[in-house]
């Protein structure tokens, strides 16, 4: 709860070069500082710090941000903790914001839930060793799973007695309220009006779920009786402190090893996590009680970008792995996969072969996602050309999720070589898929913009992580733009045409030297740019003007920009715009499709493009004229001098005449 003006004060005082140089040795180079990047391995410095802009940027791995981001990334601080670090460094006092009554009550409720959960964990762990049933049933089970006492204690495992209300009664006697017991999910009220509370986890071995800083959030309880009706695992319901989609089982015990090894192993079950830790693979976590979520991935990302999935080799395991790959890549992670053979899971494999064997197995059998997924898809496709084509397009979609250009290029190279598709073809398809994704994201954003903000979910229980989202240049302000720039739609259409069809050719009627009717071929870009420059039309939106100018410069130099020029543009806002405006549906190259006997969709009809170009230019001119007329009429209201009024009226008349002419031309074409 750091007040915004204090945050600003901290940011103002912060000198990025001073912060970074606490961790990285920096050397001055011109206005900037250079050093070896702490986020990837390198011998020659490509890590740059700019004091004037207050940012760092690595030209090797692409990591970039301000001092707060640096601390969050380097020291694994939460956003408020990074600010506190800086406040401390620059001697700025933080007066934590006064809580409102509501906030204080929520805070108290959270505290109460933390306390009762911690109490329960200690109690269950105590029963495991100091109660007869605990030893004979609970501990016996863990021993049978070959877990040793050290690991049982490390994970705080326990046992809940097989009685209806033993725990609840004990907790109430210790002063915990019914309300807290019910809200934490430890006790259940069967009916709303019923007085009696029951133990949720009776007769189960208990796996406490910790947050990253080691507080107990909830439990997962495994049944031991052979009762067929009982669920194998029962988990705490979501509560004020526990939300299963942003919790990772084992993160507290694993986080240091994950950061140290710069690698996280992701397994499917709680017992797999514990078993891996016992085998020395302490960088292992699981997404407990749910399939992998984005929130869980972001949690891992605070410690590493590298994830190796260790899922079962059966069809559900493979399916889960394939889903997880896309999700992980989408969050900027690097993914490898290990599948265990012969129906083994990490736990059973570790037991069969021991810890050295499993460590070397994982090392030798981790496949990068390209090899893993193409292997699965091609095996499934056999020699069926249609299925091979589908496999290729699935791989294209997955590779398109890789955010880093170098990594993506490498993935394309590997995949095209495995699938025997020309690298160029694959690269083009991937580029198109990326554009399509961006388009989709843009449309989604359009749909949701104006409605209530989506992310109203509470912060993860382990941190009061109020990290603001980076103010990326997105299109969410589009509605605003439309009222700000009257010709926004028409201007955008011109840029869209340039980007999509600039290097297509269309035919226009003309006369030869003997006055015969002929058709001349023009590049769309030459036509559009020539026409707009000719009428001396300026774009109101400076972003569009800059793209237009850049395109015009290419033309003046007698060339056309490369397909990918604007998509890979150094300016982020240009890249974003190009990506949203380029909207070709993804297709494999014609020659490849022909080779595999798949019929191709017909390319865009030049006549359609020609009409589109014609209308769009006229629409822009029309809108610009209307704008001028409106402006002149506005001006008329405040003009007093007779002569000035006459000049203005003359101008308006002229504009109206041109507008009539344009209107006629537009109508003719539209009809
Ligand atoms: Zn780097």
CA 96 / ligand 1 centre spacing (Å): 35
Residue with tokens 């949203």: 580
CA 59 / ligand 1 centre spacing (Å): 7
CA 70 / ligand 1 centre spacing (Å): 12
CA 54 / ligand 1 centre spacing (Å): 17
Residues 6+ apart with CB under 8 A from 504: 523, 524, 604, 606, 609
Q: CATH assignment of 4-89, given 3.40.50.1820, 2.60.40.10, 3.90.580.10, 3.40.50.720?
A: 3.90.580.10
CA 385 / ligand 1 centre spacing (Å): 42
CA 262 / ligand 1 centre spacing (Å): 14
Mean pLDDT by 10 residues, the chain (671 residues): 82 89 85 87 84 81 83 81 88 76 77 91 96 95 94 96 92 91 91 83 94 88 78 88 91 86 91 93 88 89 88 86 94 91 82 84 91 93 87 94 87 93 88 82 70 39 35 35 69 90 82 80 88 88 91 86 74 75 47 53 65 88 88 84 83 86 70 32
CA 410 / ligand 1 centre spacing (Å): 18
Would you mind telling me the total number of residues written for the chain in this entry?
671
CA 259 / ligand 1 centre spacing (Å): 16
Q: Do domains 245-365 and 368-437 have the same CATH topology?
A: no
pLDDT at 418: 92
User: What residues are neighbours of ligand 1 (ion), with CB under 5 Å?
Assistant: 37, 39-40, 58, 60-61
CA 46 / ligand 1 centre spacing (Å): 7
CA 35 / ligand 1 centre spacing (Å): 10
CA 539 / ligand 1 centre spacing (Å): 39
CA 304 / ligand 1 centre spacing (Å): 13
C-alpha 223/C-alpha 528 separation (Å) is 72
CA 57 / ligand 1 centre spacing (Å): 8
pLDDT at 282: 93
CA 577 / ligand 1 centre spacing (Å): 27
CA 73 / ligand 1 centre spacing (Å): 12
pLDDT at 393: 92
pLDDT at 653: 87
Question: Residue 222: how many CB atoms within 10 A of its CB?
Answer: 18
- What residue spans define the domains of the chain? 4-89, 106-242, 245-365, 368-437, 485-625
pLDDT at 227: 67
pLDDT at 139: 96
Residue 218 near residue 435, CB atoms below 8 Å: no
DSSP percent split of the chain into helix, strand, coil, nearest 5: 55, 10, 35
Structure tokens at 396: 């294209």
Could you tell me how many helices (H) and strands (E) the chain has, helices first? 27, 18
Q: CATH assignment of 368-437, given 1.20.1440, 1.20.50, 3.10.20, 3.30.70?
A: 1.20.50
pLDDT at 465: 37
CATH class for the domain made up of 106-242: alpha beta
Residue 247 near residue 292, CB atoms below 8 Å: no
CA neighbor of 271 nearest in space, from 144, 365, 359, 358:
144
CA 47 / ligand 1 centre spacing (Å): 6
pLDDT at 596: 57
Q: Give the CA distances from residue 582 to residues 374, 493, 500, 502, 561, in Å, rounded to whole numbers and listed in that order.
A: 28, 11, 6, 12, 14
Q: Does domain 245-365 have CATH number 3.40.1360.10?
A: yes
CA 42 / ligand 1 centre spacing (Å): 8
pLDDT at 228: 65
CA 36 / ligand 1 centre spacing (Å): 8
pLDDT at 671: 32
CA 142 / ligand 1 centre spacing (Å): 44
SS3 category, 374: helix
């Amino acid at each position: 709860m750091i007040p915004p003006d204090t945050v600003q004060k901290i940011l103002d005082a912060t000198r990025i070069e001073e912060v970074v140089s606490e961790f990285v040795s920096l050397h001055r180079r011109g206005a900037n500082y250079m050093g070896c990047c702490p986020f990837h391995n390198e011998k020659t410095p490509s890590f740059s710090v700019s004091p004037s802009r207050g940012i760092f940027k690595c030209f090797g791995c692409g990591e970039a941000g301000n001092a707060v981001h640096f601390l969050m990334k380097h020291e694994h601080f939460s956003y408020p903790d990074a600010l506190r670090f800086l406040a401390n460094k620059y001697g700025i006092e933080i007066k934590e914001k006064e809580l409102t009554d509501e906030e204080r009550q929520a805070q108290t409720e959270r505290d109460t839930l933390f306390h009762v959960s911690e109490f329960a964990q200690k109690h269950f762990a105590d029963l495991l060793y100091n109660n007869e049933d605990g030893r004979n049933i609970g501990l016996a089970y863990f021993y049978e799973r070959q877990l040793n006492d050290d690991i049982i204690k490390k994970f705080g495992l326990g046992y809940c007695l097989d009685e209806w209300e033993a725990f609840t009664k004990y907790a109430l006697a210790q002063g915990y309220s019914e309300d807290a017991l019910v809200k934490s999910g430890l006790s259940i009220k069967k009916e709303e009006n019923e007085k009696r509370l029951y133990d949720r986890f009776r007769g189960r071995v208990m796996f406490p779920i910790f947050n990253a800083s080691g507080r107990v959030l909830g439990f997962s309880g495994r049944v031991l009786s052979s009762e067929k009706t009982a669920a194998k695992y029962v988990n705490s319901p979501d509560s004020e402190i526990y939300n299963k989609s942003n919790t990772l089982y084992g993160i507290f015990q694993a986080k240091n090893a994950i950061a140290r090894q710069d690698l996280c192993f992701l397994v499917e079950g709680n017992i797999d996590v514990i078993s891996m830790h016992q085998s020395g693979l302490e960088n292992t976590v699981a997404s407990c009680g749910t399939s992998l979520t984005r929130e869980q991935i972001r949690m891992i990302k605070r410690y590493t970008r590298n994830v190796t999935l260790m899922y079962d080799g059966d069809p559900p395991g493979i399916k889960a792995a394939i889903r997880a790959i896309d999700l992980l890549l989408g969050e900027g992670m690097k993914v490898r996969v290990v599948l265990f053979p012969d129906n083994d899971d990490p736990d059973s494999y570790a037991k069969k072969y021991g810890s050295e064997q499993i460590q070397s197995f994982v090392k030798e059998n981790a496949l990068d996602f390209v090899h893993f997924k193409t292997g699965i898809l091609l095996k499934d496709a056999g020699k069926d050309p249609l299925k091979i084509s589908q496999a290729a397009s699935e791989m294209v979609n997955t590779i398109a999720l890789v955010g880093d250009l170098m990594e993506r290029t490498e993935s394309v190279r590997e995949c095209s070589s495995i699938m025997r598709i020309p690298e160029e073809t694959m690269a083009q398809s991937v580029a198109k898929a990326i554009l399509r994704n961006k388009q989709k994201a843009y449309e989604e954003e359009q749909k949701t913009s104006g409605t209530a903000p989506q992310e109203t979910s509470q912060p993860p229980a382990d941190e009061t992580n109020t990290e603001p989202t980076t103010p990326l240049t997105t299109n969410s302000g589009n509605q605003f733009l439309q009222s700000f720039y009257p010709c926004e739609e028409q201007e955008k259409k011109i840029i869209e045409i340039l980007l999509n069809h600039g290097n297509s050719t269309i035919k226009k009627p003309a006369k030869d030297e003997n006055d015969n009717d002929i058709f001349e071929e023009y590049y769309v870009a030459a036509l559009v740019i020539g026409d707009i420059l000719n009428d001396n039309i300026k774009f109101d939106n400076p972003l569009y003007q800059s793209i237009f100018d850049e395109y015009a410069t290419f033309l003046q130099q007698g060339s056309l920009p490369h397909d990918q020029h604007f998509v890979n543009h150094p300016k982020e806002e240009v890249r974003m715009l190009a990506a949203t405006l380029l909207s070709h549906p993804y297709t494999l190259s014609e020659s490849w499709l022909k080779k595999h006997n798949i019929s191709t969709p017909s390319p865009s009809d030049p006549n359609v493009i020609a009409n589109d170009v014609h209308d769009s230019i006229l629409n822009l001119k029309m809108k610009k004229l209307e704008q001028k007329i409106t402006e002149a009429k506005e001006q008329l209201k405040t003009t007093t001098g007779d002569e000035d009024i006459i000049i203005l009226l003359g101008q308006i008349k002229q504009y109206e005449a041109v507008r009539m002419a344009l209107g006629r031309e537009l109508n003719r074409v539209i009809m």
